[in-house]
Amino acid sequence: MSAPAVTADPAAAGTSDRRTWFGLVVLMLPVLLVSMDFSVLYLAMPTIIDSLNPTATQQLWILDIYGFLIAGLLITMGNVGDRIGRRRILLGGATVFGAASVLAAFAPNAEALIAARALMGLGGATLMPASLALIANMFPHGRDRARAIGIWTSAFAGGAALGPVIGGVLLHHYWWGVVFLINVPVLAVLLTVGPFLLPEYRAATTARFDVVGVVLSLGAILPAVYAVKAVATAGLTPQSVAAATIGIVMFIAFIRHEKRTPAPLLNLKLFKNPTFSASLAIAMVGMMAEGGIAYLANVYLQSVLGHDVLAAALAGLPMAVTIATFSVLAHRVSRRFGTRTALAGSVLLAAVGNIGFLLLGASSPIWMFMALTAITGIGYGIQFSLVTDVVVGAAPPEQSGAASGISETCFELGTALGLAVLGSIATAVFLARGTDLGFADSLGETLSRASGLGPAGDSLADSARLAFIDGMHVAAVVGGVALLILAAVVYRVMRVPANR
């Protein structure tokens, strides 16, 4: 017997009992998988390249198609879940995600793997907004909802941290397909117990679905994400400029359409709430700073300090632990200091941690890196949890799926911007330092070139490592300053603390 369907205000459904909290545990499962899948594939790429021999373009699509579809479909799938049932779309998306994982694991060639990854993106786009929207239904009281969202956020942080560790261990013993097969038993648990522990909820609306809005949103988001990623990998090109232009034009058309249509895909009235808008800005800028510096830190640990992949993953655990811990504690911080101060303060703390990367050099002890990232983790844990709670809580119950899709889209765009903006800044500094030294396009390529040059190669490698550190420092400062400015703006805009 499945949990009952709900079509009215979930506040009438009762308090958050033990069954509801067990349901939250179930909702954490797809979050773990989605976050793990973003990080674990990078570890498997070398063996995938050896086995399937993809072209350089195919390698990019293997890595990017999943994120493209998730970013483009989050808002749409949030709306679909609001209409057809959030539990239904969650379980349906989990089924697609699981089946696509099996197809990916046994893909015979690069084309099949790209197609499987696209299906995984389609399924994954349903999991995040549906699970968040169900939390809003299952926990109608503000304090319980804030605590539940904190736990949900900690699961996302845990998955991102555990992905490389688990993937590294499994890849040491098995073939590359195992990084996809680990999804199957987790999804089996979700599909087995989900119908019994998760309530159904659908909005009681007969308004026509905004198909035009879906098309326009995809036309805006997908070219924009492609342009950002293209700039990160190849700099400004005619293709990236064209994609960005198309994205901007489609975004303008999307906003104009949403203002006119009676049942919009995106409720623009939500943006009149300064707390809602400030939270989305935190999501985007915060993930830009976190995503960019996380990428550079991984290169720093492996190519500068000389740690292997597994050791680098383990060095990231303190940050994951503080993010997870303070995601859960964020609601207490908010109650103690107010949402306005908690959000602005957490952004400020993340800025301090980012700028603290200036202390890292070519021979810094690993504990210094771990301490700095743990500090930033405190700030990110608080802000990401509160952002999600504010965004979901600001929307009416029948639109919580769409609202969660908006927040998750901002997180995705922020991650892409981090790699493009901060990664490009670091690369520009690196190449500028090596103008007269013969650097290749990246630190890894330069170190490979230097390995066969004897003493001259050692000097080239040392210079390249120092140049990379300079680039990392500049990128960290840019990200930190952006966070400092954001903290000041948030504190000024959110003059009246939200009621929590």
pLDDT tens figures, 446-498: 877 777 767 777 788 888 888 889 999 999 999 999 999 999 988 888 775 44
Query: Does 171 have pLDDT greater than 80?
Result: no
> Is 96 or 204 the better-scoring residue by pLDDT?
96
For residues 7-17, average pLDDT: 47
- What single-letter amino acid sits at 93? G
Fold exhibited by the domain 1-209: Growth Hormone; Chain: A; (1.20.1250)
Q: Which of 95-99, 219-223, 453-457 has the highest average model confidence (pLDDT)?
A: 95-99
Burial class (CB in 10 A: 0-12, 13-18, 19+), 431: middle
Which of 178-187, 379-388, 404-413 has the weakest average pLDDT?
404-413
Which tops the pLDDT comparison, 89 or 165?
89
Mean pLDDT of 125-153: 82
Q: How far apart are CA 243 and CA 238, in angstroms?
A: 9
Residue range 305-326, pLDDT digits in tens: 888 777 777 888 888 888 888 8
pLDDT score recorded for residue 74? 82
Would you list the domain boundaries of the chain? Answer: 1-209, 212-262, 268-500
Mean pLDDT computed over 31-35: 77
**In CATH, what number does 268-500 get?**
1.20.1250.20
Please check whether the two domains, 1-209 and 268-500, share a CATH topology: yes
- Candidates 404, 448, 415, 424; CA nearest to 234 is 424
Tokens 């949103």: give the residue. Answer: 217
What is the reported pTM? 0.76
